[in-house]
Amino acid sequence: MTKHQIPTAETPISYQLRGTVAVLTIDNPPVNVGSQAVRLGLVHGIERATSDGVAGAIIIGAGKTFIAGSDLKEFGRPLDWPQLPDVIAAIEEAPFPVVAALHGVALGGGLELALGCDYRIAAPGTKVGLPEVSLGFVPGAGGTQRLPRLVGVSRGIELICNASRIAADHALDIGLIDAVVSGDLLDAALDFVGQHPEKRPVRSIATPSETHDVIEAAASKAQKLGKNRPNISEAIRLIRRATEPEMADALADERRVFQDMRVGPDATALRYLFFAERRAATVEGLDGRCAKTIAQVGVVGGGTMGQGIVRACLKAGLPVTLLERDETALRMSLEKVGAHLDAQVAKGRLDPKDRAEQSERLSGAVDPGVLAQCDLVIEAVFEDMQVKREVISQLEPVLSPDALIATNTSYLDIDAMSEGMACPGRLIGLHFFSPADVMPLLEVVRAEQTSDTALATGLKLARTMGKQPVVSRVAEGFIGNRMYAAYRRRAELLVLDGASPQQVDAAAVDFGFAMGPFAVADMSGLDIAWAMRKRQAATRAPQARYVTIPDRLCEAGRLGRKTGAGWYDYSSGSAQPDETVDALIDAARAEAGVTPQSYDCDTIQRQLLAAIVNEAACLLEESVAQRASDCDVTFANGYGFPRWRGGPLYWAALQSADGISADLAALADAVGFGHVRGPVDKVLNGIKDLRGS
C-alpha to C-alpha distance for 32 and 66, rounded to whole angstroms: 7
Instruction: With CA atoms as reference, report the closest residue to 295 among 526, 507, 461.
Output: 461
Backbone φ and ψ for 505, nearest 5 degrees, come out as -60, -45
Distance of CA 532 to the CA centre of its chain: 28
Indicate if the alpha-carbon torsion angle 278, 284, 289, 295 is positive or negative. Answer: negative
C-alpha to C-alpha distance for 429 and 493, rounded to whole angstroms: 32
**Cβ contacts of residue 53 below 8 Å, gap of 6+?**
none
Q: Where is 16: in which H helix or E strand?
A: strand 13-18
- Report, as residue numbers or ranges, the catalytic residues: 112, 132
* Radius of gyration of the CA atoms of the chain, in A: 28
Instruction: With CA atoms as reference, report the closest residue to 88 among 66, 68, 59.
Output: 59
SS3 21: strand
Q: Where is 43: in which H helix or E strand?
A: helix 36-52
Output b/e per residue, 648-663; b: 16+ Cβ within 10 A. bbbbbbbbeeeebeeb
Residue 633 and residue 470 in contact, taking contact as beta carbons nearer than 8 Å: yes
SS3 content of the chain, % helix, strand, coil (to 5): 50, 10, 35
Residue 128 and residue 170 in contact, taking contact as beta carbons nearer than 8 Å: no
C-alpha to C-alpha distance for 657 and 684, rounded to whole angstroms: 10
Residue 693 exposure: Cα atoms within 13 Å on the Cβ side: 17
C-alpha to C-alpha distance for 614 and 489, rounded to whole angstroms: 13
For the chain, the residue count is 693
Q: H/E/C letters for each residue in 103-141?
A: CCEEECHHHHHHHHCCEEEECCCCEEECCHHHHCCCCCC
Instruction: With CA atoms as reference, report the closest residue to 434 among 486, 383, 489, 363.
Output: 383
Q: What is the layout of strands, in order, in the sheet containing 320-323?
A: 362-365, 320-323, 297-300, 376-379, 404-407, 427-432, 441-446, 468-473
C-alpha to C-alpha distance for 458 and 195, rounded to whole angstroms: 49
Residue 371 and residue 296 in contact, taking contact as beta carbons nearer than 8 Å: no
DSSP 516-574: -HHHHHHHH-HHHHHHHHHHHGGG--TTS----HHHHHHHTT--BGGGTBSSSB-TTSS
Checking DSSP bridges between strand 13-18 and strand 21-26, what pairing results, if any?
Answer: antiparallel
C-alpha to C-alpha distance for 17 and 549, rounded to whole angstroms: 76
Residue 106 and residue 139 in contact, taking contact as beta carbons nearer than 8 Å: no
